[in-house]
Amino acid sequence: MKTIKLNIHGIIKIKIVNPSGGILEDINMPYSYFRVEEEMCPDIEIRIGGFSEDTEGCSAVDHKYFVKKDYIYFRDTAGPLSWRAQLCGLEEGRYRLDVSYGFVNRMIMPNNLYPDQILYNFILYPLLEQCFLRKGYLFLHAGAVADGERGIIFAGRGSSYKTSIIMDLVRNGFYSLGDGWVIVKGDQLYSFPTCVSFFDYRKRFMPEENLSLYDRFRVIKFLTKKTPSNRDWIKDRARLKKLVITYREDRDKVEIEEITNKTEVADILLANNRLEWKANYPYGGDTRRFLDAYEYVYPESPASSCEDTFRQGILNSIENAHIYKARIPLKWQRGTADTIGKIIKGE
């Protein structure tokens, strides 16, 4: 039985048993950057396939979340996709997750090209946020680059051009720490690159992140070749020096202003994470609801969302950082990243 083992900077270890096959392997296994062969005692152990749930003694929440101490079982859907899952170990923080996909999922395009995206997008991302937080780390919905040892975070909602900016900066000598998520503890940034080959394609062939119809066909051909990507543009750690929050607006040119109210910034970053669980493109839906259901039944559990802890962690991390708000035109313009790059370098 195939097993995938992941070691995320020695902070969290994940073991996935019986992963699904997918034509687009890089997207089906987006955390492949952290893949290892070493033996491990995983923080999160995942088994994909059939299982028998144990709902005896459970409290039912919203008719689909079945909760008892240290356990939750649920069925869920997103558009035409469906799955069921059970999660144990919420109290001790060493998780055991079983996931079974709906039979028709394999017949639905494009899910049949990367079936395990259900696991990652709808279950594992919010679970990682909780797991990191219990270990004293923040898992932020943001991208980041490094200029030498100096780290710069780019936070913003989907389609606010975080990835386009990072693509341009990497092409101009910066290192990437990831374009969707970054791990933070104090002023230390840890990389979280996902779908490395997909980012590499866009960095090499596209002026900005949005795929044209031509690119959609071309990227599938690029990814199915399974040619290992050059990863010398990725850096694993940096020290946080600057934070840029990106917004798209109906305007003619980029406008950048410095933000001094760091409590406001902490609230923005917390809201950014919360919104990400509710967005989950292309199907939508709140991906964190299974954890919220557990917190509803056991509000004092260490598995609770701990928003105050999250907010205080952000304040500690950005205490000495320079923070900016970048207002970016709706249509991507050449030179946008250059303008932001000058601010980053202090020019």
Number of domains in the chain: 1
- Any residues with CB less than 8 A from the CB of 242 and at least 6 apart, and which? 150, 151, 152, 153, 321, 322, 323, 324, 343, 344
Query: pLDDT digit of tens for each residue in the chain (347 aa)?
Result: 799 999 999 999 999 999 997 788 888 999 999 999 999 999 999 999 999 999 999 999 999 999 999 999 999 998 889 999 999 999 999 999 999 999 888 888 888 889 999 999 999 999 999 999 999 999 999 999 999 999 999 999 988 999 999 999 999 999 999 999 999 999 999 999 999 999 999 999 998 898 888 888 888 888 887 666 678 999 999 999 999 999 999 999 999 999 999 999 999 999 999 999 887 666 666 789 999 999 999 998 887 778 889 999 999 999 999 999 999 999 998 888 888 888 777 75
What are 214-223's contacts with CB under 8 Å, separation 24+?
220/24, 220/113, 222/197, 223/24, 223/25, 223/26, 223/27, 223/197, 223/198
Taking each continuous run of H as one helix and of E as one strand, the counts in the chain are 10, 17
Query: Which structural domain range is residue 132 located in?
Result: 3-344
- Residues forming a β-bridge with 71: 68, 88
Helix axes 125-134, 307-317, angle to 10 degrees: 70
Dig out the tokens for 163 from the structure: 């990835």
